Structure 1
């Protein structure tokens, strides 16, 4: 964990602390959205899914609050060095969390449709995938709050298991569709939900990359480990 700079103006330090708390709150709301959207899917709970859709406005409002707060800090405090990187990172991260909220909302909308279709498989892969992306999101936000570049690096390198679960779901849904055309509607919505979760995982690792830069002032070297092979998948109809 890196050492945070101390400021002679106490109110300035309090403002930076408040900024980190606002990001943490926004991240916590997004984590809850991901968890509830997935639980609504697995439990076939359309009421919970509807709640998730309605709660997205709170995340959007927080993003606007953070943007206004950052602009005020830039104008009045004129931060430099590490403080400037924190403010810019907060702007980028709040946008990333807002996108995560959008993906969770989209997953919840599709969960409502899936609840009206015949059950298709156990959906345990969705629970596993949601847990992984929630852990990565929490880790990335904690890294920002605690000024911990090492923790951010761990999250940045942890996306591959998410992709592996996604690949398994992708193949499973294709199999269901080939076995019985009546499965196509539910399986298609489930594929989109799985892709939403995979994109949430990508945004979590993007946030971690931003945190690394905010703390250390340098970009991470190399390519992020990935294992999503769905784009190159070949579908072969059963004979």
Structure 2
């Protein structure tokens, strides 16, 4: 009876960890969407709401870490179960950082002097939409323990880097040609860079999911486009 009860508690612990990771994934995705809406609409109240919501994401990461430690101490998990527990602990910080980039986007939106123009707004919207898609697919891969689905994040991140590289060059041109837009363009550069880094963190999560499922690291160099627009792997 005791063994059955112990196993039941362990299964509940694993399910709770899984649900917390998926909840944090949804929260940071919503934060990114809210931050972009605040940026493009100039809605200061929405920006402040996104900034305030980051506390909840931080608290959820803390809960995941505490739950991971408690589960490891209470049980002696083997193989697949151990990888699942450790994956939750390693994935949570990546999600928390994505939430930080959403918060920073919201903060920087409050510092802009003028509305974001349509071309730049469209590129930022594309980046956020791509990150949302990556988060959703990686979350589904995590929930389903699907290594193949996790692998697709690499290709998605390469496209995200390419759009970031073009936006980076575009903003530099604006700063060179119109000194009155330097301050706003600097804020937008930081926002774009944060979104590019958010994509990197989703890719890191994909690698953790792949390792969790297969017990092996995802092999091969990541496709990466640098800020000059050159594919760093191709140039090597």
Q: 2:73 aligns with which of 75, 91, 105?
A: 75
Contact 1:70 1:91 in 2 (8 A): yes
State the alpha-carbon separation in 2 of the partners of residues 161 and 170 from structure 1: 14
Asked if 1 retains the 8 angstrom alpha-carbon contact of 2:39 and 2:116, the reply is no
List gaps (5 residues or longer) in structure 2.
231-236
1:182 to 177, 180, 183: 180
**Could you tell which deviates more after superposition, 149-158 or 96-105?**
149-158
Shift of 1:8: 8.8
Say whether the 8 Å CA contact 1:173–1:187 is kept in structure 2: yes
Report the TM-score, using the length of structure 1 for normalisation. 0.90
From 112, 115, 120, the counterpart of 1:119 = 115
User: What is the CA-CA distance between 1:201 and the residue it aligns to?
Assistant: 0.3
Distance 2:116 2:174 in 1: 8
Give the Cα–Cα distance (whole angstroms) in 2 for the partners of residues 231 and 162 of structure 1: 12
For structure 1, the 5+ residue unaligned runs are: 1-6, 233-239
Q: Secondary structure at the match of 1:194?
A: helix
Aligned residue number for residue 148 of structure 1: 146
Q: What RMSD in Å do the two structures reach over aligned CA positions?
A: 1.6
Partner in structure 2 of residue 201 of structure 1: 199
- Counterpart Cα distance in 1 of 2:41 and 2:167: 18
Instruction: Give the structure with the higher percent helix.
Output: 2
Sort the Cα spacing of 1:120 and 1:34 in 2 relative to 1 into closer, same or farther, 3 A. closer
TM-score (norm 2): 0.91
Distance 2:60 2:73 in 1: 20
Moved over 2 A (4+): 7-11, 118-121, 228-232
Stretch moving more, 68-77 or 118-127: 118-127
SS in 1 for 2:152: helix
For 1:157 and 1:83, the matched residues in 2 are separated by 29
Contact 1:27 1:141 in 2 (8 A): yes
User: Number of matched residues?
Assistant: 224
Mapped contact 1:166–1:228 kept (Cα < 8 A): no
